[in-house]
A and B are shown apart, each in its own frame.
Chain A
């Protein structure tokens, strides 16, 4: 690439994180470090039943026997797990009846993030369960949903109010033995969201949770559980931004989805946590275990993600296609810039007959970043008539970044039809010049080209998210746009 374009690319890709600010809200924290007493304390603060405390302790004991996984294409820093605070809650504890009662500074934070709760109620028809530092602050639309039998609340509330459901499904998709971070989460999770759609109910609105990390040195261990009973449908949105910090922040979430017969769950994520500054200082370490099971026949789970944030991303939203004629989908755009590292992809485990999966992964790398796709397609012996289509594209901006693809195929049934396509391209200088010659400057040209490249995935997002995601792509790579 020529010097001038290089210069512009450098300028636009060195854009610093726009959402870096810290909200000055008093938080109640417990001391740093992790041991059984800390876990007992967390459980006690949340007034949990004994079985849950037992689960936590089992997970903790198991975690102690495990090591951080090292197989990902990531340059992992040492993490001192004793140097992390495992619980923080906003000090003003009581639940609010209306927005007026909410700490105005907190509302202001949401406003800066473009998450006006009030407005969203009216405009988007989105019920928001906003999680700020581990404890749910505000839940909207609860009554409307409750009338249909839909449960949408914080995980802690679900533990109190729907213990049977939680006990039945929690850990059924991601057991605490699954991996190092899942074990850690199972031991120390603070809060998260719970969603249950009863038989035959189509959830009338997009359910949405905004996560936000806000207390310095606080690990965030969210837990989400979505259960869609027979013949039900729900679309769930998750989006997040975090304030700028110099200390690295650990995040190890678990998301579990259970889809019963004929049920469909659509899970969309826009992830924009603080990626660190352009020298690679700070930023969130994001180790997430997301998995869904299509338990009943004809069920469907669809993951869509736009990943632009975090210093390190380790994340493989997966589908276990257990029922016959089930469908798993994974649509992903992952952007890395500066010193960001991402190792992300999916696992499609075909157990049921005639199960289908689609994987569309679009990686965009800039700066000095490393962006890897890692995906597994596994077809079990008795799963006949399986189909998989995988398309895995990488786009490079400049020549100091890296894109990598690690596809794994384990096919034990010969009737399976598996397709894999992969491309790597650079943003062409000729494409940029073509735009320039039509009067479009280089920055906007890159924005156009990137959004065009990611379109197949952006199109899968719900409307209100698609616009936000487009903006995010431009902001992540461009600076002045958006």
Chain B
């Protein structure tokens, strides 16, 4: 589904990603861990198409397409979803209006008619349950006035609405208390199928107690220095990142 091959990326001439290769197949959950500044969020941004970064080398294939050649919105419509570490606020734009626009752009991409208002609201009600959002989103602007936990839940809610093939969750656990973390993890697990895949980017092992990954990769100084099964996360938790740095 996703094939990253020797990916290099830099910002303002400074190389952040120094040759990353990774393959993700349908149904798999990969965790990418690493200390601060190792390039985890950069990797997520580059995959989503943020043009702050220059890709200097390497290829990325997504569903047999050249991902790097696609505009960010086309990557999204093709089924790539990024759960943001810091979801941005868009004042005055209601969640309903925002999500309706997004969902219908996805449907247009798939040659489907736009959802009617009532079908859309029905879908929204259904998906709100996934992440236990009880508040009335119709009256709220995108992320405006949302608490930290609500913002993260809102990301998973949007993921549920858009039903992506590949979700990249960037530090979704940061700033969450344990209850919120469980709700978010529960949501992700519920959305997991044999056809879709997930990349979880995290600093801590904590989230992986609730979302069990098939593979764990350790990113350090722009490279994947270690890949293994879920037990790697535990080892890392025990020994700390210094253990990686020493190697």
Query: Which residues of chain A have a CB within 8 Å of any CB of chain B?
Result: 2-5, 428, 430-431, 433-442, 444, 448-449, 451-456
Give B141's nearest chain A residue, CB to CB: A452
- Knowing A431-B88, A434-B90, the reply to whether A448 touches B101 (Cβ < 8 A) is yes
Give B83's nearest chain A residue, CB to CB: A437
Give B53's nearest chain A residue, CB to CB: A2
B35 sits at the interface (CB 8 A) = no
Give A5's nearest chain B residue, CB to CB: B51
Contact of B101 among A433, A442, A444 (CB under 8 A): A444
Give B143's nearest chain A residue, CB to CB: A434
Contact assessment for B158 and A438 in the assembled complex, using a CB-CB cutoff below 8 Å: yes
Q: List 8 A-B contacts (CB under 8 A).
A: A434-B84, A436-B73, A437-B76, A438-B158, A439-B106, A439-B109, A448-B101, A449-B93
Give A456's nearest chain B residue, CB to CB: B92
Task: State the CA gap A439–B110 with chains docked (Å).
Answer: 12
* B residues less than 8 Å from A440 (CB atoms): 73, 101-102, 105
User: For chain B residues 19-58, which have a beta carbon within 8 Å of chain A?
Assistant: 48-52
Query: How many Å from the CB of B157 to the closest CB on chain A?
Result: 12
Task: State the CA gap A452–B102 with chains docked (Å).
Answer: 16
Q: Mark B119-162, 1 if CB is under 8 A from A, else 0.
A: 00000000000000000000001100000000000000010001
User: For chain B residues 53-81, which have a beta carbon within 8 Å of chain A?
Assistant: 71-73, 75-77, 81
- Knowing A439-B77, A439-B102, A440-B73, the reply to whether A452 touches B92 (Cβ < 8 A) is yes
Task: State the CA gap A451–B142 with chains docked (Å).
Answer: 13
Query: How many Å from the CB of A197 to the closest CB on chain B?
Result: 34
Contact of A452 among B49, B90, B158, B162 (CB under 8 A): B90
* A residues less than 8 Å from B141 (CB atoms): 452
Query: How many Å from the CB of B40 to the closest CB on chain A?
Result: 17
B189 sits at the interface (CB 8 A) = no
Contact assessment for B92 and A451 in the assembled complex, using a CB-CB cutoff below 8 Å: yes
B97 sits at the interface (CB 8 A) = yes
Task: State the CA gap A456–B92 with chains docked (Å).
Answer: 8
* A residues less than 8 Å from B50 (CB atoms): 433
Task: State the CA gap A3–B162 with chains docked (Å).
Answer: 29
Task: State the CA gap A319–B90 with chains docked (Å).
Answer: 33
Q: Mark B89-122, 1 if CB is under 8 A from A, else 0.
A: 0111110011101100110010000000000000
Closest 3 CB pairs of A and B: A452-B92, A452-B93, A436-B72
Give A438's nearest chain B residue, CB to CB: B102
Task: State the CA gap A436–B52 with chains docked (Å).
Answer: 14
Task: State the CA gap A454–B97 with chains docked (Å).
Answer: 15
Task: State the CA gap A441–B109 with chains docked (Å).
Answer: 12
Task: State the CA gap A438–B88 with chains docked (Å).
Answer: 12
* A residues less than 8 Å from B87 (CB atoms): 434
Task: State the CA gap A292–B9 with chains docked (Å).
Answer: 61
Contact assessment for B162 and A439 in the assembled complex, using a CB-CB cutoff below 8 Å: yes
* A residues less than 8 Å from B91 (CB atoms): 452-453
Task: State the CA gap A442–B74 with chains docked (Å).
Answer: 11
- Knowing A434-B87, A436-B49, the reply to whether A441 touches B73 (Cβ < 8 A) is yes
* A residues less than 8 Å from B98 (CB atoms): 435, 438, 448
B82 sits at the interface (CB 8 A) = yes
* A residues less than 8 Å from B142 (CB atoms): 434
Task: State the CA gap A437–B106 with chains docked (Å).
Answer: 11
Give A454's nearest chain B residue, CB to CB: B92
- Knowing A2-B52, A433-B50, the reply to whether A438 touches B162 (Cβ < 8 A) is yes
Task: State the CA gap A430–B86 with chains docked (Å).
Answer: 10
* B residues less than 8 Å from A436 (CB atoms): 49, 71-73, 76
